[in-house]
Amino acid sequence: MAELINNPIYMQKARAELDTIVGNHRLVDENDIPNLPYLKAIVMETLRLHPPTPLIPRESDKDCMVDGFNIPAKTRLFINVWAIGRESKYWPDPLKFMPERFLVNEDNDNVIIDVRGQHFHLIPFGSGRRGCPGITAALQVVYSALASLIQCFEWKVAGDGEKIDMTEASGLTLRRATPLLCIPVSRHISLLPLS
């Protein structure tokens, strides 16, 4: 949400996609998600820049060489997922929030990149046998929640600032250093349940 509030053009594109696919006569539901590629691209781009866990601990099970470095068996390693998502070798303009990098263009130039651990330059949930077992459920919840927030509300920054501070706090999980404070303004009153 913070990235979308800071980049309103992407919020508008996501809202336009929702209005086209779902409309304003009903709430978005899980069955709509496969038909919302721009919403999915926003989530992928967010996971690239802000992975849930910045470091993934692993232990090598045998001696191996990685990029010219000898790694003996039983060595404890930390995979820096945060840095991988910002590697300019794989991501042009890596610090910029650009959901379009996860869309297939007309020329079919873009490879569809997924966060399920098959593309090693985007592994916010790990990879292989030690990858997160809840990835499917997590993505479904994130897609549905984000779609509902975009469909039902306009978002305003609380306080004086126009932009949200994206500074990250250190820790085992990646979180914002300052809380996200914003004001929701209802878009579709007819969609909200009566109390």
Task: Give the pLDDT confidence of 20-77 residue by residue, as tens digits.
Answer: 999 888 899 999 999 999 999 999 999 999 998 889 888 889 999 988 999 999 999 8
Stretch 104-122: mean pLDDT, rounded? 68
Between vectors from CA 91 to CA 174 and to CA 45, what angle results, nearest 5°?
Answer: 45
Please check whether residue 187 is in contact with residue 152, taking contact to mean a CB–CB distance below 8 angstroms. Answer: yes
**Residue matched to tokens 């929702």:** 18
- pLDDT above 60: residue 110: no
Give the pLDDT of residue 45: 95
Give the pLDDT of residue 134: 83
Which structure tokens are listed for 91? 């991501």
Stretch 90-114: mean pLDDT, rounded? 80
Give the pLDDT of residue 106: 58
pLDDT band for position 91 (50/70/90)? very high
Kindly list the structural domains of the chain, giving each domain's residue range(s) and its CATH number in brackets, ordered by start.
Answer: 2-51+82-191 (1.10.630.10)
Q: How many CA atoms lie within 13 A of 97 on its CB side?
A: 18
Longest dimension (CA), the chain: 64
CA-closest candidate to residue 45, choices 88, 95, 89: 95
Please check whether residue 44 is in contact with residue 102, taking contact to mean a CB–CB distance below 8 angstroms. Answer: yes
Give the pLDDT of residue 195: 47
- Structure pTM? 0.87
Query: For the segment 134-189, what is each residue's pLDDT rounded down to a tens digit?
Result: 888 888 999 999 999 999 999 988 876 678 888 888 888 888 898 888 889 888 65
Greater pLDDT, 89 or 159: 89
Which structure tokens are listed for 50? 């802000």
pLDDT band for position 13 (50/70/90)? very high
Alpha-carbon Rg for the chain in angstroms: 19
Give the pLDDT of residue 36: 95
Stretch 106-110: mean pLDDT, rounded? 56
